[in-house]
Amino acid sequence: MSAPTYFRDAADYHDWWFFSGTALGGSSAGETFRMFHNQLSEAGAHTLIAARFLDENDQGIDPQLWRRAFVFGQVGNQVSLTLRALEAIGAGGVAGALRSTPAPPSLVSRAQEVLKSGDYDSPRISAMIQEARENVAVGLSHVLGEVPEELQATIPQARTPAGVETREEFQRLLDAYVAAHQDDLARDVARYGDPRQAPGFDAEAAREERARRIARLNFLKYQRGKIDDLREHLQKLRDLAGTDPPESPRLNKALRKVLGEYAEFADRPPENLMDELKDWLRAVERFRDEHAAVLQPKATQNEGVAARLAALGAYEVSYERETPSLAWVKPAGLPCPWADIGLHFSIVLAKRPDPAEVASALDALCDEAERFQARWDTLLPELERFIIERFHAIADQLPDENRALCENDDGEISDKKILEAVEGGSLALTRHFNQPVHAEFSFAVPWDEEHGIEVPLDEAGNPLRYF
């Protein structure tokens, strides 16, 4: 005896699947389709794959356009399992057209061929660019329902081949398939339940939880792909720590890499980390405890210069090359009420510099830093004026949301708001051989996150206006 009708149509089954918690986290359609077949009934897998195909052909069934715009990743799985689903629901015309539609070479492979051949024929390149724009436009149109105005004209029209079912005919075939396979689909519900029937079910909250689960699964997948590299990088760091001094550039590079990777994962909730990743984090922590000297390279062995550096405040030393780079997060003598201003020292010398040359360069950098400290009370107002004038010079070109950051309650640009929006600053001092120290201020600002504001200085150390 057949089970009573549980699903009204294919859309109802798709809605159930969406909230069922099955087949989540696929990195491509092909991987997701394989998960459908592994976790659901064959009828359920065919229903979902066919429904997706219909949804992606929302302007008319066009197998060639579908291949171009929606087939990627595990291409073999995606196409072969789509064909199985089309044949299962009885859409033989669509299946035949898809089988006879050759797989187009990817844009990446065609670009590689162009590079290898050296044939940069303009029409050929233009055609590839146009195709890429069309594919993007089709994808955006499908996801968003519309595309930016400048891309609207690039959306190619769907061309349904002769003998292919219309979308309406396809939909009827799909819904009929669901009606004929209620027993199979009901077993999916029996296996996984139907969260929609739970008391107090909240669709929006369920969508958010589903998104969190997918993000977690993708993050775990990312970790599995990353763990071997993490172990390799930590082992390289251990090896270098056993042979190189703390001031070794290659040791510093390996240390920065491992610590950067550690920071990527250390603050994640433990339940979002795989056990191997947790073990790696603990191994990095043990390394830090056992190799404290590696984390504290010295800028110089000259005690007098070291004392001058310490007088500027707590700082960190790194060796990207054979000379040290120093950074103060909150240096002494450079207070600012509207942003923290850091201090950076850089040295450029010949390879294998004499320690006395390094100490001399650091001494010169300390001299320059102290000169800025001595005139800070008069320089800071100049920096403020530079930032304010720079904002006013470009204000008319900024998006409304960026201008709004610097407007008062009356909608007028406020100098106080401009300064309060500054996210931080830095004074960079660089010594090239025996040349005078080069100084430059830079500030991070939300209205130009890529470039910020750079403040060139004249020989006297005053801001140079160029606008």
Q: pLDDT tens-digit profile of 404-458?
A: 999 998 899 999 999 999 999 999 999 999 999 999 999 999 999 999 999 999 9
Tokens 């409304």 identify what position?
400
* Range of weakest confidence among 68-72, 77-81, 276-280, 389-393: 68-72
Collect all residues with Cβ–Cβ distance below 8 Å to 406 and sequence separation of at least 6.
391, 395, 413, 414, 417, 418, 421, 447
Average pLDDT over residues 289-307: 95
Decide if pLDDT at 225 tops 50: yes
Asked whether residue 197 falls in the same domain as residue 241, the answer is no
Position 461 scores a pLDDT of: 86
Task: Give the separation between CA 366 and CA 343, rounded to whole angstroms.
Answer: 11
Task: Give the separation between CA 20 and CA 195, rounded to whole angstroms.
Answer: 7
pTM above 0.85, yes or no: no
Position 195 scores a pLDDT of: 97
Asked whether residue 214 falls in the same domain as residue 341, the answer is no
**Alpha carbon distances (Å) from 263 to 55, 258, 305:** 41, 9, 32
Q: How far apart are the first and last CA of the chain?
A: 83
Number of domain units in the chain: 3
Give the residue from 181, 201, 221 where a domain finishes. Answer: 201
Q: Give domain status of residue 131, yes or no.
A: yes
Q: Give domain status of residue 369, yes or no.
A: yes
Q: Which domain holds residue 286?
A: 208-295
Q: Give domain status of residue 308, yes or no.
A: yes
What's the length of the chain? Answer: 467
User: What's 7's DSSP letter?
Assistant: -
Q: Which amino acid is at 17?
A: W
Alpha helices by DSSP H, 145-166:
149-152
Alpha helices by DSSP H, 62-198:
63-70, 75-89, 92-99, 107-117, 122-144, 149-152, 167-180, 182-192
Asked whether residue 183 falls in the same domain as residue 281, the answer is no
Asked whether residue 288 falls in the same domain as residue 344, the answer is no
Asked whether residue 164 falls in the same domain as residue 220, the answer is no
Instruction: Tell me which range, 115-129, 321-335, 400-414, is most confidently predicted by mean pLDDT.
Output: 321-335
Instruction: Report whether 17 contacts 45 (CB < 8 A).
Output: no
Asked whether residue 259 falls in the same domain as residue 307, the answer is no
Asked whether residue 354 falls in the same domain as residue 441, the answer is yes
Asked whether residue 50 falls in the same domain as residue 86, the answer is yes
Task: Give the separation between CA 274 and CA 270, rounded to whole angstroms.
Answer: 8
Asked whether residue 37 falls in the same domain as residue 138, the answer is yes
Q: Give domain status of residue 466, yes or no.
A: no
Q: Give domain status of residue 351, yes or no.
A: yes
Q: Which amino acid is at 419?
A: L
Decide if pLDDT at 137 tops 60: no
Position 159 scores a pLDDT of: 85
| pLDDT 10s digits, 140-179 | 555 555 656 655 566 677 788 899 999 999 999 999 999 9
| pLDDT 10s digits, 100-124 | 987 666 555 555 565 666 666 666 6
| pLDDT 10s digits, 63-72 | 998 998 888 8
C-beta contacts of 393-397 below 8 A and 24+ residues apart? 393/467, 394/447
Give the residue from 246, 267, 295 where a domain finishes. Answer: 295
Question: How far is C-alpha 119 from the geometric centre of its chain's CA atoms?
Answer: 34
Average pLDDT over residues 184-195: 97
Strands 341-348 and 424-432: parallel
Asked whether residue 45 falls in the same domain as residue 167, the answer is yes
Per cent of the chain over pLDDT 90 is: 79
For the chain, counts of helices (H) and of strands (E) = 19, 6
**Phi, psi for residue 455 in degrees, rounded to 5:** -115, 100
Q: Give domain status of residue 424, yes or no.
A: yes
Asked whether residue 140 falls in the same domain as residue 169, the answer is yes
**Alpha carbon distances (Å) from 176 to 16, 170, 179, 284:** 18, 10, 5, 58
Q: Edge-to-edge, what's the strand order for the sheet holding 438-444?
A: 316-318, 325-328, 341-348, 424-432, 438-444, 453-456
| pLDDT 10s digits, 17-56 | 999 999 999 989 999 999 999 999 999 999 999 999 999 9
Give the residue from 274, 295, 316 where a domain finishes. Answer: 295
* Range of weakest confidence among 142-146, 302-306, 313-317: 142-146
Position 1 scores a pLDDT of: 44
